[in-house]
Amino acid sequence: MSNRILNVKNSLISVTVKIIYKELLKTTVISSNLEERQLYRIVKSDEDMEIFNRIWMENWSNKGYDIEPYQGIATRFIILNDCNLPAATIEIVHYNPEKKNFKKTSTIEDWFCFSENEIVKRNRNLCCEIDKVSISKEYNGQKILDRILNLLFHFAEKNNVKYYLALIESIFFRTLKFYKVPIIKLGEAVTYSNGSKFIPSMIDVEYGIEHKERFDWFMHNNNETEAIYGFTT
């Protein structure tokens, strides 16, 4: 009798496992559907801020960069992989080369005078800086860069941004060129304390948005339906 009860229990467990497995498969199918997939999320909570800092600080530390969190107003994003797990970070700051209360508001102007560029002069209020672009080592090769680029396009569309300014690692600069990102080299590379080369760069995101069909990686915005939270000009 006890063996019969045990067999029934095992059968029930087997059926339950199969049902759960089927449900998991359904979930997997849904999450792999581009229309249902979340590409990124805005950092709003303390928990997200901890995740954001962990990703970029760990990456910076491994590369020998100084850890300098930006203290001004910025909009921060966590880029998600296909399983909605945090995979990368990016920080967007409204470009302002001037000092406020004796504190610098730009993270890049000390390294290169972007403000002297004629395009920047004419469009200063339509420029943003990008910083903290960092992809977790374990998620390299999972098309995370595609999502970062889509985020930049989505953000620009919603917030009237024409140009992104940044100091970009020379290898990453070539990668963006390979992705056909409309990026312009504004001057000679600057050398960081650990010997890394950074290229003063401008991304003509307005041109990119007008020609999105040229980019294989472009996806329509699925998880932001209004202006980006926390961004002020």
pLDDT, average across residues 147-152: 94
List, in order, residues 6 or more apart from 106 with CB less than 8 Å away.
93, 95, 96, 97, 114, 129
d(CA 9, CA 159): 59
> Higher model confidence: residue 179 or residue 73?
179
pLDDT band at 72 (very low <50, low <70, confident <90, very high): confident
Structure tokens at 90: 């990016």
Average the pLDDT over each of 21-30, 108-117, 126-135 and give the range with the smallest value: 21-30
Q: What pLDDT, in 10s, does the model give residues 4-23?
A: 443 444 444 333 333 433 34
What would the pLDDT profile of 44-65 be if each residue is shown by its tens digit?
999 999 999 999 999 888 888 8
The burial class, CB within 10 Å (0-12 / 13-18 / 19+), for 4 is exposed
Q: Is the pLDDT of residue 229 over 60?
A: no
Q: Which residue has the higher pLDDT, 28 or 202?
A: 202
Sign of the CA dihedral with 37 first, then 42, 45, and 48 last: positive
Please give the Cα distance from 196 to 169 (Å, whole number).
Answer: 7
